[in-house]
A and B are shown apart, each in its own frame.
Chain A
Amino acid sequence: MKPHNLGIIGVGQTTYVTRRDDVTLPELAREAAATALEDAGIEFKDIDGVVFSLALDALEGIEGGEKWCAEALGGYGKPFLRVHTGGAAGGSAVHTGFFHIASGHFNCVLVVGSEKMGETPDAQSVLNQIFDPIYERELAINAVNMCSFQAVRHMKKYGTSEYHMALVAVRSRKNALNNPYAHIKKEVTVDDVLNSKMICYPLKLYDCCPRSTGSCAVVLASESFIKKIRKKKVAWIKGVASCTNSYYMGDRMNGSCINDYADSEALFLAAKKAYNMAGINNPNREIDVAEIYAPFTSTELAAVEALGFCEKGESGICNEKGIFEMDGEIPVNPSGGVLTANPISATALARVAEAALQVIEKAGERQVRKVGTAVATGEGGSLQFYTVTVLSNKI
């Protein structure tokens, strides 16, 4: 059976901020959902299913927050699913919505993510809890040092430097100035990054994402639904794939080049599948813009290599050459990316939303010129779960 064609017809985001004391988690979720429906030009009654991206319960302090949020998202009387693959949850939620519609059983699905990290006392003490209680949790491992482990391996294997990582931070923060939804809107220089406080070597304060509060939503619709409502601007979903790596980071540190922790191998495999589905043979030439889930500068370096934008180990040099700048060959994170806003449950969804805005040329000041194809990624757990979504302006 050939899957039904579908695309994104509406996008909604709140401005990402440190905290929102004027709304609860469901109220916050509703804001992006209402905006996305308005953007799509449809009403709640047109939605025949809701997928909710919600990552770590302990970040919100609510066990199963989807229960609280279902009513705010039009879940009443309809199928409602919560999806959780850590940071990749937003990407997985889009894929879940994709398969709902591709199956032919659904016509219009609302995908929403909502996060209130302003109420989380210390995100890293929560993120320490993702590690197994027997062998690893008592070693104080958290999301920052789990990415530091990749960074030091990448540095050793390829000669990547803290300077290369700083270039990523400088570009992201510069791009974020064009994004009205970005949380961090302050430019930094390479020296600012290199001189910022050491958090977990080699990652310094400006190599790290903020803790953000906000929500994001997209409306997915089938080709027949899109024809019926005569929607013109559509970001067609041409490729979706995900891939899972080992839970244990140490399993990917055995000196072998295959599945090395330095390289985000599962992202490479997911990208290969998604590109294949979208008919992309040469990502370097065929992809016009990328929104990459990279909460730390070093994460993006490994990701651009895994996505095939450059050879393994060359991301540092490519950043020096400006290849990923707004006017470069493949602009990366025109929105400023995760380094300038990380509302975890909504973050990977925001990557898809931003990629969709690029494809339909509604990205405002952050619009990249001549976008035909865009790619968005998600990453969750101990560099474990990856999602890749390819969008196009052509069906």
Chain B
Amino acid sequence: MEGDQIFVTQHWDIKYNHAAGETGSTFFKAIMDKKVILGKKCPKCKRILLPPRSFCERCFVETSEWVNVGKEGKIEAFTIVYEKFEGLPNPPYAIAYVLLDGASTAIANFVKGIDLKDINQALNHIKVGAKARVAFKRKREGRITDFWYEII
């Protein structure tokens, strides 16, 4: 049968315009206008959620207070990607979850400024527990990629 099969080629190409919501918009505007990272505090468990959310899933209450968290923290988890995935960036690139000072949860972003070609060299710098700082894009546009991490 092989060679006799008929294939119908189709593709999905659907454009969405996702609202960041009031909470997400406040977070991005603080980054755009003031280079400030804002978390949101749960009035009950006192966790400062980053990225900020309008509610705390564990207490089932609305978060209330905006909190300015630090621009430095430590890496809680990371990966360095060496494989090309369709529609995703060209490798190598590094992604890390960083627990910024004052926040209760870690927030992900790319790690830049380290040569990733030699993995062993890269792993000397990028590791769980390593200190990292936030660096901001010059032209910020209200997206998570407005900032990245650099190893201190």
Among the 9-residue stretches A93-101, A185-193, A249-257, A332-340, the one with 4 or more Cβ atoms under 8 Å from chain B is A249-257
> Quick check: is A128 within 8 A (CB to CB) of the other chain?
yes
Give bound CA distance, A197 to B81, whole Å. 11
Within the complex, which residue of A124, A139, A254, A255 is in contact with B109, where a contact is CB–CB below 8 Å?
A139
> Quick check: is A21 within 8 A (CB to CB) of the other chain?
yes
Chain A residue with Cβ nearest B18? A133
Chain A residues with CB below 8 A from B81, complex form: 140, 145, 199-201
Chain A residues with CB below 8 A from B105, complex form: 248, 250-251, 253-254
Q: Nearest-CB distance from A193 to chain B (Å)?
A: 16
Is the Cβ of B86 less than 8 Å from the Cβ of A261? no
Is the Cβ of B77 less than 8 Å from the Cβ of A140? no
Given A22-B1, A22-B5, residue A136 in contact with residue B86 (CB < 8 A): no
Is the Cβ of B82 less than 8 Å from the Cβ of A201? yes
Give bound CA distance, A284 to B1, whole Å. 50
Total B residues in contact with A, Cβ cutoff 8 Å? 48
Give bound CA distance, A57 to B51, whole Å. 27
Given A198-B82, A254-B105, A255-B99, residue A122 in contact with residue B87 (CB < 8 A): yes
Total number of residue pairs linking A and B with CB closer than 8 Å: 134
The 0/1 profile, CB within 8 Å of B marked 1, for residues 107-145 of chain A is 000000000000001101100100001111011111011
> Quick check: is A153 within 8 A (CB to CB) of the other chain?
yes
Chain B residues with CB below 8 A from A136, complex form: 108, 144
Is the Cβ of A253 less than 8 Å from the Cβ of B85? no
Chain A residues with CB below 8 A from B109, complex form: 139
Give bound CA distance, A136 to B109, whole Å. 8
10 contacts between A and B (CB under 8 A): A58-B12, A134-B51, A149-B78, A153-B128, A199-B82, A200-B80, A249-B108, A251-B105, A253-B97, A255-B99
Residues in A lying within 8 Å of B, measured CB to CB: 21-22, 58, 61, 121-122, 124-125, 128, 133-136, 138-142, 144-145, 148-150, 152-153, 155-156, 197-201, 246, 248-251, 253-255, 261
List the 9 shortest-distance A-B pairs measured between CB atoms, nearest first: A122-B86, A253-B76, A250-B106, A148-B79, A149-B77, A156-B128, A253-B106, A125-B87, A124-B85
